[in-house]
Amino acid sequence: MERRLVAMFISGALLFLGGVYVGYTNQPAVNWISSVTNKEPAELGGESVDFEPFWRAWRIIEEKYVSIDTLDRQTMVWGAISGLAASLGDPYTVFFPPEEKKIFDSEVRGDFEGVGMEIGMRKGILVVVAPLKGTPAYNAGVKAGDKILKIGDESTAEMTVDEAVRKIRGKKGTTVTLTLLRNGEDDVRVIEIARDVIQIPIYEAEKKGSVFVIRLFSFSERSPAIFRQALKEFIESGSSKLVLDLRNNPGGYLEAAVDVASWFLPAGDIVAREDFGHGKEELHRSRGYDVFENLALVVLVNGGSASASEIVAGALRDHDVAKIVGTKTFGKGSVQELLSVTSDTSLKVTIARWLTPNGHSISESGLEPDVVQEAAGENDEAIDPQLDKAIELLKELPQKSES
């Protein structure tokens, strides 16, 4: 979840690596930087770090590499920083050299073209978090939980999430071929998808008997205002039983999640805990819209429910406002901050983990539903046993009453 987009410079090892080429051509500077870092280990987390192997490797390349005239030393610096980020083992901490930064900035603005699906990393394997409803990926049959083995002819084995995103996205009208693994090891599918301009859907609403259903597809900047419209439809329906369907909702903005949860929680109730480690924590609290005097609420989730979806579902359950039905959520519970390294490069770094109000770590294990209900098989998409189970449960739940 990209919660902050902050323009600032970082110091320490990254700024140090940014001066590699200057350092190499001015050896006293190299010696000075190395001596400072070794004499003051507290600047590096209290641990003594020997940078000499890095400089030795740089000198070996300069002295021995056969195509020395073709070296792009600035690209070598970017590669070193990328390796530094990759060494953390966190798929969401990524360095963006100049061209990649331009692409990422356009994605943050929302003016991108592609296939319309959220992807993530699970146990070192690229997976589809969720295809967005109505997008090329959704219409082509991509499913939440599909493992991405290849993009075109290129294996994803050593690919980061952001690298995969850049390869999948592209100009409207062009195509991308994905090799996907679904269910078992023999269920490999090759799907060709035509890219398009992605219009992210927000919600659908309908009344099923005495139960009202709101399907929320994303937590975008527009979601809070549009969710109010959905709630207006719910109130006008005369129903007091609500299914909030967050299946295949890959998340989005924290502020949108807090706003949605605030319709069901009193002012001041904790919606999420942001754990920065070392005992530092920030609490995000309900704004207390809490307009429903009599309400029975069920939240539907599955493996495509991630990030902001998990925050909302976890908050409503922890405060005994709702029951969760479906299957285990994805487990995308980390917070990234975007920081400038130079004027045309940036580093997206994980700075915190999301916890539910009761302290459950979303990123470690996702959310287990109160009532487990598997989805229909691929040949039975006309039926929806998860929604049926939610409706059945609502008929048994006591309604929230504030009278």
Conformation bin of residue 209: beta by default, left when phi > 0, alpha when psi is -120 to 50: left
Query: Which tokens hold the place of 168?
Result: 């999948």
> Catalytic: 307?
yes
CB proximity list for 152: less than 8 A, separation 6 or greater: 167, 176, 177
Distance CA 31, CA 40 (A): 14
State which amino acid sits at residue 258.
Answer: V
The torsion of the CA quartet 43, 350, 318, 331, rounded to 10 degrees, works out to -140
**Closest alpha carbon to 164 in 335, 10, 154:** 154
Question: 125-131 and 175-181 as β-strands: parallel, antiparallel, unpaired?
Answer: unpaired
Distance CA 96, CA 40 (A): 29
List phi, psi (to 5°) of 323: -105, 150
Which run of H or E residues covers position 296? strand 294-301
Query: Which tokens hold the place of 219?
Result: 């937590």
User: Which residue among the candidates 332, 346, 384, 389 is catalytic per the annotation?
Assistant: 332
State which amino acid sits at residue 7.
Answer: A
User: Which residue among the candidates 307, 334, 346, 363 is catalytic per the annotation?
Assistant: 307
User: Which residue among the candidates 196, 245, 290, 318 is catalytic per the annotation?
Assistant: 318
Burial of 300 (0-12, 13-18, 19+ CB in 10 A): buried
Active site residues: 307, 318, 332
